Structure 1
Amino acid sequence: MRHDSGIERRPTAVPGPRPARDEGEGEAPGPAAAPARPWWRAVPASRAAIPLLYLLAAFVLYHGLWGGPARHYLVDSGSDQTQFEWFFAVAADNVTHLRNPLFSGLQNAPLGVSFMANAAMLGLSVPLTPVTLLFGAPVTWALVVTGGLAATAWAWYWLIARRLVRSRWAAALGGAFCAFAPPMISQGVAHPNFLVLFMIPLIVDRALRLCEGRRTVRDGVVLGLFAAYQVFVGEEALLIAACGMALYAFGHAVADPDAARAVARPLLRGLGIAALVSVALTAVPLWWQFYGPQSYQGLLHGDTGNHPMALLEFATRSLAGDERIAASLSLNRTEENAFFGWPLVVLAVVIVVRLWRQPVVRALGFTALAAAVLSLGKNIPLPGTDRTLPGPWRLAGELPLLDSVIESRMAMVCAPALGILLALVCDRLAVRRLRSERERSRRLLGWAALVVALLPLVPTPYRTVERAPVPAFVADGEWREHVRPGRTLVPVPVPSPVHTDALRWQVVAGLGFAVPGGYFNGPWGPDRTGIYGPQPRPTSDLLAKARETGEVPAIGDRQREEFLRDLRFWKADVLVLAPDDRSGPLLRAVNRLTGEQPAYLGGVWVWDVGDLWDGTGGEG
């Protein structure tokens, strides 16, 4: 997805210019060398300062969470923060009780949820089990997004400094852009699987080592291990990264065919080894994902390409962003996947033209352009008209796996491509010797252009709000007197991607009860097409309609029969409605369905319905 530099024309060559060593670095000291200094003195100040600056920047963005993770919520995340906290909590619970880590029956009862078919991030949630158990899932969430963002920036910095530039501060700028670019910041409000990408630079570096042809087997094995781990952190991110790397490889092969021929054999051999290793490690989880319980084929999301103007405008969370304009050009605030701003786009074109002789620059320019065009989707709107043009995603989107990708996310490939271009030009400005007043003027102009292009894109802190308190009926454990083992608690309305309060109830209640419905990806219909949320049932649809319209739907004998069938399917023991300003129609609807008045317990309305369907009391 990302890059290498000009490759020498022999298979064992290092792909790309090596940055100059720091002053004082050299070969290993001989016997007469001075004693080694303590590590904290041996590390240059820049090496220590750069990761700390990344961590500070990430903390500033997420500081609203750290004031009280259990109380604070990222307001623009919709239901996604709740979903990921649920994944973290259930993963820790599965590890603690030695349950299947790939599945849970706590949502979507009685069918359950496949973790491999969802962005459960097992590669982080499982190792962070002690954090979740000691401090709670909200702290794990805050740690993942904050630490993951900083770690991703540092990983890109490491790759750029190692492979492409001499100035560490130029590499630091490039790494910062790769991680803090507008698309990544947009995803960071709700989708840590697209924010925590520290493995991608490591994967790129290992692929570049394969090009050197020196230790193909070892490097192929390590690459396979890295790819396998990334599967458990973010599969879709790995797929998009692989597309970006393929675009770059094609662009570099066209720019420097001799180098491509020189590295083709060791690269292909190493990739084959990596594929064998990663498949061996992920075969069972991937089988579970595609053929196991609650697996699905494809995922419905419609045409979600970027508008061309989104590439030139500014994102909601950018310093120069306009919330209204960004909303008109994107799916939602979590999917502002372009928004690089016209100054940076202009600067990128200038950089590519100015450094055109370098194959790496031509390849990076092609990668950014191709990814941007792919991100426009199947139908590319012509600005200022009602017409569209057919986009290349019409072909790409038909390929296996890519049919489930939200195509606007392909623009995320542009972030590292642009970040490396920025690092290259910054390196030239920082280390090039000035021989005339004219060159000094050009350097000042270059720095000014960088400021003009990047300052509007500086991200602003994420907004947080106070969470609504969990009802005492759940928080104090009163639910235990109403839900028997093997039965479920049914929130009203039934949990869905829009209504996720019950997932937080479960976490607060120690995951002691299961609920029907929920927020996850699962199958629908005989073709097992992927959808967001559970398969609809008559009662869940009826209650959702009452919530949305504010009116009680018609309820007769048919609706009551369907209600009893759904209670039986869900193995429901109790229905629970938390009162708010829109709960009146729901209260009346459930009263008509049950033929009973609820009890008001622990701040919620409660209907005990187990006897209505199991043959011990009422009908059913």
Structure 2
Amino acid sequence: MTSVQTTGDLTPEPSTLTPATTAAAPAPSRLRLRRPDLLAALGFTAVAVYVLEQQWRSPTSGYLVGSGQDQRMWEWFFAVAAHSVTQFQNPLGTVLQNYPQGVNLMANTAMFGVSLPLAPVTLLFGPTFTWTLVLTAGLAGTAFAWYWLLSRYVVESTAAAVIGGLFCGFAPAMISHANGHPNFVAMGLLPLILACVVALARGAGPRTTVLLGVLVAAQILLGEEPLLILAIGFGVFTVSYLAAHPRQALPTIRTALKPLLVAAAIALAITAIPLWWQFFGPQSYEFIDHGPMGNDLKALLQFPAQSVGGQLSPGQDVAINATEHNAYFGWPLLALVTGAAVWLRRSPTARAAAITTAVMCLLSLGAELTVGRDGTGIDLPWSWLERVPLLESVLETRFAMGAIPAIAVLLALATERALRQRAALVPWLLLLLVALLPLTPTPLPSVDRAPAPEFFADGTWRDYVSSGSVVTVPLPRPEDARALTWQIEADFGFPLAGGYFVGPVGPEKKAKYGPDDRRTALLLAQTQKTGVVPTVTDAERRQAVADLQFWRADVMVLPHGSNEAALRQTVQRLLGDPGHQAGDVWVWDVRGLVAGTR
């Protein structure tokens, strides 16, 4: 079935995930599922349900605590995609948020690869159910896809492939992103893409070329950043592997180059319109500058907060937020991986995996080495790469995710060797338990969210909206995006000023999270934060009218919330209008102020 390489102890190692081999092995010939595959799939699904079991208790209303406002944003993406299907509208852009400028949804990783196919699910059960389903299927599907790749191309042992698949699907980064980033959870296509690339390097035919093009196009519609990280990681792996087989390098390149270019052309043809919209369409942007976002060195060594080890032995909080624990491998696993790399040092595949792990972890540390949030002044390789186009918009902390499959390869290879060398089996399994048990995830905490204000839920808003926007007080923004959920409750009957998305700012089209802030929006946000009613001048009153005209507002709505009294007094002073209660909210009908400006 496969060619054989020789390792240091003369134990046969199956042909691995490498671009060089003498036997052609097209990916489609290995798609048939076996009984162990089905059992593995059921096991991975059970683990995914366990991780999200609190969310599944209320699959249509639950809210993951660690998501911040990201769950609201993603639910809005799913809901607006379903809305665009029913209204026969262009799904790539909308003015339902950030009115009247709108949002470039293709530039916001709206995951059209799942949001559009799952539109019927969203329409039937709501966007929260779709959100819960995508996260669960994403974790299980990613684990199974890597298991499949490992079992077909890296190891012959099902148990070894299961261990690798479990780590890939439920690594600390995957659990962290399951709080709020489904685009970094639903990554099951990536192993299939790698399988096609390897098969083409082995001489697979046109069917695999077409399949690769389709898979890449589908991944672009799911998330481009994971694809970029995978490409960099696999590039490091390939160079490292071929360095040990220099004579195979040129024949491999010759075999793979043409079909890879054809596959790229197919992918670009399929995604040409979405990609044009992303980079050149309305509200597109040039780049987003996140600032320093590298991993702290402690992030590599500590246990993640959402794990058994993190509960028993919590470390210093050095993560960006709860959704960006992109490393957190823990020192026992890193020690085990280092030992495995030494043990398997005669294996070119193991060496390439070890080098890939080291390089991706190093890149994830950012431009300057930090330890315990303290800078050391030591420049790192990322300082040379952070201004490279495409790379400049990537959070460098996420490069650690490129080490996950490389670590899985080492764990799978070492497990298979231990199974063959009976004397090593028990020590290896004990070490594996010590390394992986602390990383066992705990269920993600979820709560039932507060219902939407009756003003939006029962349709009272219709009495105040003609053809303009609703301006909530304060406006929706990355810090508080509840209004997006209320708009969904109102079946997108009105556009919103402000919002939570990524959009351009200024003539350079530099991106930021949320809208290009106007003075009135900033004033209201500051009032909610401090609870202090600001001194309102005539200039600020004129600016408020100008901003309302810019937003083409019909009504300002103040729901119950923190510092509500201060916000109400502020709006009253800005408009010179006491407003009135409409059910459970305060409203100010501002259509007269913006009349003649639309």
The answer to whether TM tops 0.5 is yes
Q: Secondary structure at the match of 2:101?
A: coil
Quick check: 1:89 aligned with 2:79? Answer: yes
Q: 2:464 aligns with which of 482, 485, 502?
A: 482
Following superposition, the deviation at residue 380 of structure 1 comes to: 1.3
Q: Can you list the C-alpha shifts for 1:76-95, whole angstroms capped at 9, x where unaligned? A: 10000000000000000101
Following superposition, the deviation at residue 538 of structure 1 comes to: 1.0
Q: 1:377 aligns with which of 366, 370, 374?
A: 366
Q: Which amino acid aligns with 2:465?
A: V
CA contact 1:6–1:358 (8 Å) conserved in 2? no
Number of the residue aligned with 1:32: none
CA distance in 1 between counterparts of 2:395 and 2:104 reads 20
CA distance in 1 between counterparts of 2:431 and 2:81 reads 47
Number of the residue aligned with 2:336: 347
CA distance in 2 between counterparts of 1:269 and 1:517 reads 47
CA contact 1:148–1:198 (8 Å) conserved in 2? yes
Quick check: 1:548 aligned with 2:537? Answer: no
Quick check: 1:472 aligned with 2:472? Answer: no
CA contact 2:17–2:198 (8 Å) conserved in 1? no
Q: 1:602 aligns with which of 573, 583, 597?
A: 583
Q: 2:552 aligns with which of 571, 574, 582?
A: 571
Q: Which amino acid aligns with 1:156?
A: W
Gaps of 5+ in 1: 22-41
- 369-378 or 321-330: which moved more? 321-330
CA distance in 1 between counterparts of 2:262 and 2:97 reads 39
Following superposition, the deviation at residue 398 of structure 1 comes to: 1.7
Number of the residue aligned with 2:402: 413
Following superposition, the deviation at residue 549 of structure 1 comes to: 1.6
Number of the residue aligned with 1:54: 44
CA distance in 2 between counterparts of 1:473 and 1:9 reads 66
CA distance in 1 between counterparts of 2:456 and 2:353 reads 54
CA contact 2:135–2:178 (8 Å) conserved in 1? yes
Number of the residue aligned with 1:226: 215
Alignment of 1:313-328 (within 5 A): 313-321=302-310, 328=317
Number of the residue aligned with 1:279: 268
Q: 1:359 aligns with which of 348, 353, 367?
A: 348
Q: Report the TM-score, using the length of structure 1 for normalisation.
A: 0.91
Number of the residue aligned with 1:454: 436
CA distance in 2 between counterparts of 1:576 and 1:9 reads 66
Q: Can you list the C-alpha shifts for 1:137-158, whole angstroms capped at 9, x where unaligned? A: 1110011001111111111111
Number of the residue aligned with 2:281: 292
Following superposition, the deviation at residue 276 of structure 1 comes to: 1.0
Over 3 Å counting, the alpha-carbon distance change for 1:170 and 1:452 in structure 2 is same
- 138-147 or 545-554: which moved more? 545-554
Following superposition, the deviation at residue 46 of structure 1 comes to: 2.5
Q: 2:135 aligns with which of 139, 145, 150?
A: 145
Q: Which amino acid aligns with 1:409?
A: R
Q: Secondary structure at the match of 2:323?
A: helix
CA distance in 1 between counterparts of 2:591 and 2:264 reads 51
Following superposition, the deviation at residue 213 of structure 1 comes to: 1.4
Over 3 Å counting, the alpha-carbon distance change for 1:129 and 1:421 in structure 2 is same
Number of the residue aligned with 1:36: none
Q: Which amino acid aligns with 1:64?
A: Q
CA distance in 1 between counterparts of 2:290 and 2:106 reads 19
Q: Can you list the C-alpha shifts for 1:230-270, whole angstroms capped at 9, x where unaligned? A: 00001111111111111111111212222323311111222
Q: 1:520 aligns with which of 478, 495, 501?
A: 501
Number of the residue aligned with 2:377: 388
Q: Which amino acid aligns with 1:443?
A: L
Q: Which amino acid aligns with 2:322?
A: R
CA distance in 2 between counterparts of 1:148 and 1:408 reads 21
Number of the residue aligned with 1:107: 97
CA contact 1:9–1:258 (8 Å) conserved in 2? no
Following superposition, the deviation at residue 327 of structure 1 comes to: 6.0
Alignment of 1:182-201 (within 5 A): 182-201=172-191
Give the aligned CA root-mean-square deviation in angstroms: 2.2
Following superposition, the deviation at residue 433 of structure 1 comes to: 5.5
Q: Which amino acid aligns with 2:237?
A: Y
CA distance in 2 between counterparts of 1:492 and 1:509 reads 17
Q: 1:80 aligns with which of 66, 70, 74?
A: 70
Q: Secondary structure at the match of 1:573?
A: strand
Over 3 Å counting, the alpha-carbon distance change for 1:244 and 1:258 in structure 2 is same
Kindly, what percent of the aligned residue pairs are identical?
44
CA distance in 1 between counterparts of 2:533 and 2:436 reads 53
CA contact 2:368–2:376 (8 Å) conserved in 1? no
Over 3 Å counting, the alpha-carbon distance change for 1:487 and 1:321 in structure 2 is same
Quick check: 1:508 aligned with 2:504? Answer: no
CA distance in 1 between counterparts of 2:35 and 2:596 reads 74
CA distance in 2 between counterparts of 1:385 and 1:138 reads 39
CA distance in 2 between counterparts of 1:195 and 1:345 reads 23
Q: Can you list the C-alpha shifts for 1:316-370, whole angstroms capped at 9, x where unaligned? A: 1111015995562111111111100000000001111111111110110010100
Number of the residue aligned with 2:231: 242
Q: Can you list the C-alpha shifts for 1:156-211, whole angstroms capped at 9, x where unaligned? A: 11111111111112111111101100011111110000010000000000000011
- 408-417 or 418-427: which moved more? 418-427
Q: Secondary structure at the match of 1:334?
A: coil
Q: 1:260 aligns with which of 228, 236, 249?
A: 249
Following superposition, the deviation at residue 548 of structure 1 comes to: 1.3
Number of the residue aligned with 1:124: 114
Q: Which amino acid aligns with 1:478?
A: T
CA contact 2:363–2:396 (8 Å) conserved in 1? yes
CA distance in 2 between counterparts of 1:230 and 1:336 reads 23
CA contact 1:545–1:553 (8 Å) conserved in 2? no
Structure 1 ranges of 4+ moved more than 6 A: none
Following superposition, the deviation at residue 47 of structure 1 comes to: 2.5
CA distance in 1 between counterparts of 2:380 and 2:219 reads 30
Q: Which amino acid aligns with 1:559?
A: E
Over 3 Å counting, the alpha-carbon distance change for 1:329 and 1:610 in structure 2 is same
CA distance in 2 between counterparts of 1:324 and 1:423 reads 27
Quick check: 1:532 aligned with 2:513? Answer: yes
Following superposition, the deviation at residue 562 of structure 1 comes to: 0.5
Following superposition, the deviation at residue 596 of structure 1 comes to: 1.3
CA contact 1:315–1:323 (8 Å) conserved in 2? no
Alignment of 1:35-46 (within 5 A): 45-46=35-36
CA contact 1:152–1:197 (8 Å) conserved in 2? yes
CA contact 1:382–1:389 (8 Å) conserved in 2? no
Q: How many aligned residue pairs are there?
A: 583
